[in-house]
Structure 1
């Protein structure tokens, strides 16, 4: 009897185990979907740049003047020679800050504003002159109106179109600059005049992928750009074209009595130059 009862219990246990095995197993929940962020150019940025600047005016020949005692500059007839345009190019470097707004993430229109300040190292010897005798002058000007610069800066709008991480843009706005000693005096005196004008240009900017070996921040915030600018600064100088002021304060020009123009180079009224530069920016919002 006991054997029959134990066999019955064992049979019931096996049947229950088989039934449990036939039950559906608990299905693991699906993985949580995390969307990949879409890159946008919107945000504040700052960076630095370096490049090359060069004059855009046609080269001028030398200006040679015969100066007599009637000018009050010399005791005996003297020849003054100003060379033509020289050293009109050189290094340009500085930094920039700005803000972009992209209307549609991914690809779309981008508008922005950028300000930059640049050190300039060209054009320092363009106003030098040589004379056959001593000159009694307070200030000596280059009749060609050519000047050098120590620095310049711009405040520009930007309008472009983004192809995901590539931005093609045009730019333009206000420009300013000073330095370089436009008006060279004796002995070793010069006047650095602040100038204003305009700037136009364009460029291409690219946002580095996070795994790029150039992307030391390992984020989508690092961008590289290459751009070209044309800068025109109006000298705004009432003495532009004059070449000296004598000790009595009289402005001497090429039309003054006692001045003979032997050879005149092209007159320059503006400081004009172009800049080609590369830059790196860091965008603070990260995407």
Structure 2
């Protein structure tokens, strides 16, 4: 019996000693937390989007009205009668809604903050020239023959669409980009408003554009990200556009009921007053807001 007690006592001593030794052993360190780096935003990548705004003319078209006297030899009024026509040359012809789309590519040299270069092309519908062909017939003048068409001989500028291909250079402050832009511009206007009933050789014009803006990139999970792009950006931009129309005499100012064109130097037509009938450049500024969907690097 005593032997069993001695054995139990020895076993208990061994257990106690083992526990003390285990307490003295160094504890195993917990694994370090997993660090997931936050991606640094970059403007590098392709993008496409839409824009809308307002355009207004910047060239001064305010001149005295152009007055033409015509008689029966012109074919616009009955033989033996005369008429006088006054054309308004106001500048309110280049003003209205602007809207369209754009595509482009940016490259940022250093992600986060740094310089950004890019190229952008856009195409715009414009609602210019609502009053570009206003004229009045002097009281007491002979009425024009039925089917006669009259056009402004000064070719007061109007526009139906324009587009640009521009370079962009800016600096990014993380998700905010401030930039300048400039490059090639083109545009065209409709038909008789440029001097001919079915268009003229000067309908399509080219020139240049310059401006600048600011753009901000929303988070990727923005509710505006309908196309699941890498980013959605919002921008506000100002652009000046100059389309050269040359400096030559405009085409016809009238069409007879039989379809014949009548020019300012046609028989029976006298330029009574006003400046020479010349084409002018189309100059206007555009202020617009836009949205872009960026595809590529985050």
Change in 2 beyond 3 A, CA 1:219/1:97: closer
More divergent stretch after superposition (237-246 vs 118-127): 237-246
Contact residue 238 and residue 286 of structure 2 kept, 8 A: yes
Structure 1 residues 10 and 248: alpha-carbon distance in aligned structure 2, compared to 1, 3 A threshold? closer
Corresponding residue for residue 191 of structure 1: 199
> 96-105 or 55-64: which moved more?
55-64
Per-residue deviation at 1:98?
A: 0.3
Distance change (3 Å), C-alpha of 1:94 and 1:219: closer
Change (3 A) 1:3 1:207: same
Is it true that 1:97 corresponds to 2:99 in the alignment?
Answer: no
Greater CA deviation, 175-184 or 50-59? 175-184
Range that drifts further, 156-165 or 230-239 = 230-239
Q: CA RMSD in A?
A: 3.1
CA contact (8 A) 2:211 2:239 kept: yes
Which of 129, 150, 163 is the equivalent residue of 2:160?
A: 150
TM-score by length of 2: 0.82
Which of 243, 247, 271 in structure 1 is aligned with 2:282? Answer: 271
Deviations 1:166-225 (A, max 9, x none): 21111111112223332366xxx4427222221111111111245777667898611111
Q: How far apart, CA to CA, are the structure 2 residues paired with 1:256 and 1:174?
A: 42
- Work out whether residues 50 and 94 of structure 1, in 8 Å CA contact, stay in contact via their aligned partners in 2: yes
Q: How many residues align?
A: 284
Q: Which has the higher strand share?
A: 1
Which residue does 1:34 correspond to in 2? 36
Higher alpha-carbon deviation: 84-93 or 257-266: 257-266
Task: State the secondary structure of the residue aligned to 2:183.
Answer: strand
2: distance between equivalents of 1:123 and 1:2?
A: 117
Q: TM-score, normalised by structure 1?
A: 0.85
1:7 is matched with 9
- Gap runs ≥5 in structure 1: none
Matched, 1:227 2:237: yes
Q: Work out whether 1:129 is the aligned partner of 2:135.
A: yes
